[in-house]
Each structure stands twice: as C-alpha cells, then as structure tokens.
Amino acid sequence: MIARSAKARNHERPPHLQVSRKRKGPKVSAEYHKINSIQKRFTEGPSKGRFTGEWVDPLYEYLQDLDWVLREKIDGTNIRVGIKSKTHSTGTISGVLNFYEIDPGLVRSFDGRTGTAQIPSPLFKRLEELFPEEKLLARFADDEGKIQKEITLCGEGFGAGVQKGGDYGPIDFILFDVQIGGFWLDQPSVADIAVELGCQWVPYFTATLRHAIELVSSHRYLSKLRPGEAEGIVAIPAIPLFNKFGERVIVKIKGKDYPHG
C-alpha cells in the first residue's frame, strides 16, 4: 500500500473538517526596526557624537537625488498596536507539521518599540480608547469575523508627560506605519487606515533626500503638530527598497545634529 501524505489526507476530508497549515511568509516584526542616521559619528575625542561627513551606507548617497517619502519625526515614544487571530491547535503530525484553525475574534496588544518597554498609564488608557477590539475587528476582520494576517500599527505616543512633548498638547497616539502579513503599506494607505480608525497620522510629502537634508540642516522645517521647528524628518524611498542585508531602507534626519549659526 502506498502511504499518502498528510496534505493528501487533509484534502480528502470534507471541506468543513479540513485544517490549514501555517505557511511561512514575510517575517512579521517582533519590534519596530532601528532607523539609521544618514552619517556616521565620531566615537571619541572632542567631536564625539557629531557627524563625520561619511554616509552610514553609500546607498543613501546613491539615492539622494531620487524621490523619497518624507514624514515629520515626532518627539515621543514608539508604540505598536498588535492585532492577530485567535487560533486553536488541531494537533501535529510527526511532531513537525502544526495544524491550526482560525477562530472569530482577535488578540490585541499594546507594546513599545520592544516587548519590555513601559507605556505610561495615561497613554495606555488613550490607546484603549482609540483601539477597542470591536473597532479593530470591523476594520480588519473578514466576513466571518476572522483576522487572516497578523497586523501591526506603528506610531508614536506623544504629548504632555511623554519625553519633552508638552508642546504637542494632550497625550495622544499618532500613526506612521502599518505592517500587514509582513508587508509594509505605503503612506497613503497608512493615512486611509488612520482615518477609518479615527486616529491621527503623521503628515508626509515627497521630495529628494538631498532636499530633506537641506530643510532640516537649515532649521527651516517647521512642525505641523506643534509650534516651531520639527524634531526632524524620517525618510523612505518612494519605491520601497531593502539593503543587501534584507533590511528596510529608512533614515532619520534630526535638527539637533546640525548646530545653529
């Protein structure tokens, strides 16, 4: 007798008894990735901490005259809203293949940039107000009330009591990135999701990286969220790119790295 594979046996079952196998796809981030500065820094001596004039990655220099999507850098604390399916295991075969079924509902989580980061109580309360499970289900679940892909809403907690954010006004959350099933959405899609969820999103515009550096270094880039100069700019190529290590190409340009005068 010819032995049939687990997959073949599964397909022989009636549709309502078939189980799905978890498949590998793009990696879902366990924490929000680090954002590099554009230049290397001196590590010792009187200029310690200041730019050396050398690019962190020659890729940035190569791309500096192409279009990038630029968004205001917020002075706050990184926040991730995690949304994933409720599942129950239906067992394993030979201890290798893990079968599961997706249940209606979701598992919601609030984290900082890492899983161990502490979130101030007033900010945590604000997150609960903004993102009740019912609202997230209405936006992201399918017709059966199931979440098919893991989702992460990435943003900044900002305002009075967070870092030096008193100039921003009351404590709040602002969205700047969304990852669904391991894929990063473009900024117009991020803005659409923010509108649907009733939260703020970080303003963005398109220009060259060279122009972004000129704006920030000359201290002419004014904030759209508080009086005066913005903390800086976060820049992503208009066409999403990844470096030779498979890391997302994204950089930050901060005004404090460029002395006045």
Torsion-angle region of residue 161: left (phi > 0), alpha (psi -120 to 50) or beta? left
192 close to 112: Cβ distance less than 8 angstroms: no
For all residues of the chain together, what is the average pLDDT?
A: 87
DSSP 48: T
- Each residue's pLDDT tens digit, 182-227: 999 999 999 999 999 999 999 999 999 999 999 999 999 999 999 9
Distance CA 92, CA 88 (A): 12
Domains (ranges, CATH) in the chain?
34-74+203-261 (3.30.1490), 76-201 (3.30.470.30)
Q: How far apart are CA 229 and CA 136, in angstroms?
A: 34
pLDDT in tens, 4-20: 554 555 555 554 444 44
Sign of the CA dihedral with 251 first, then 37, 124, and 205 last:
negative
